[in-house]
Amino acid sequence: MITIKEIAAQLNMSTTTVSNVIHGKDGEVSEAKRAIVREFLEKVDYVPNINARNLAQNESKIIGVALKARADKYENLIMDPFVAELIGGIEETIRNAGYFMMLYISRDTEKIMRYVSTWNVDGLILFGMIGDDGIRVSARYKKPIVCIDTYSIEGLKHFTNVGLDDEKGTYEMVKYIISCGHNRIAFMSDNTNGVDYARFCGYRKALEEAGIEYKEEDFLKIRPRSEEIEESLEEMCLRSMDYTAVMCVSDLYAVTLMSALSDRGIRIPEGISIAGFDDNMLGSLYRPALTTVHQDVKQKGVVAAQTLLKQLKGEKTEHQITLPTRLVIRDTVTTPRKTSFYGYKNH
């Protein structure tokens, strides 16, 4: 906890000299003094006070990572494996670049803004913004901002975004499912916004292209809140019997559905084909192993952080960055069953 002033006093020189040595401004200070100071710094294990430094330089070396929590899903966003992996990528990149990461989670855009100004963060990574949230932030915060997974068309005009080709992902998967012989394919999700909507569009597109008519009831809307989940799952299982395949919006839902179906004695993929999206551990460890759409979540975080870092250095960056997806064909999608379930149901 020793200060520059203290060091200067003990060494009988000015703070300027000490500061210059610390910052390697070798031209400004004689070889002799440089050595003395260096040695002393080493000896006392000098650590700069970042608050003072920030105050003097008006920069913070902090990159703010603000997560906008949604009400329904996890009570705490970090627990979402997706978010955890994302943050992992961000943190690593930021740290290696000599910056610090400060995490802030809130439902309230106003609070996020206050947090950002109070800490005077040098740049901002935003995740979970909906509607015009992002626009509101970028209107007031004048330093670099990079968003992750923003689906607001209007918002995309205002700031840099790192996203995923969600639509193409489901489109290709559903196309694959159709190529296996299916023509009664449901889509399962818990809402129709953001990511979920983009993925839904890919599904619709593939259906349309194959001349399969989409009806509203083909959207299986799960209610994931713990009080309702059992009841909702029962309904999902029942309704999915009208189909030979279900395209799930995420691996989590795919595996959840498979468990529920399995509990009801329905075998996968013989009874029904299931596809997921994300390609995480949940699906790869399940048996039968899940056929799914791969995305590199960590990479998303890395790219977002790298882009921000570039902007901090004044470099120009692409405005919209879209990461690719890839089909991962495993064991849960196969040719459709020939007979319908429950006898009384057939189309």
Please tell me the distance from the alpha carbon of residue 141 to that of residue 123, in angstroms, as a whole number. 9
Q: Which of 10, 44, 48, 139 binds DNA (CB under 7 A)?
A: 48
Contact letters (x/-) for DNA, 277-316, by CB under 7 A? ----------------------------------------
Contact letters (x/-) for its own copies, 199-238, by CB under 8 A? ----------------------------------------
Q: Is 89 in the site for its own copies (CB under 8 A)?
A: yes
Comparison of 4 and 185: residue with beta carbon closer to DNA: 4
Pick the stretch among 18-26, 155-163, 172-180, 252-260 that binds its own copies (CB under 8 A): 252-260
Q: Is 114 in the site for its own copies (CB under 8 A)?
A: yes
- Count of residues for the chain? 347
Which residues contribute to the site for its own copies (CB under 8 A)?
Answer: 1, 47-52, 54-55, 60, 74-81, 83-85, 87-89, 91-92, 95, 100-105, 114, 117-120, 252, 255-256, 258-259, 262-263, 281-282, 285-287, 289, 298
Which residues contribute to the site for DNA (CB under 7 A)?
Answer: 1, 3-5, 12-17, 19-20, 22-23, 27-30, 32-33, 48-49, 52-53, 55-58
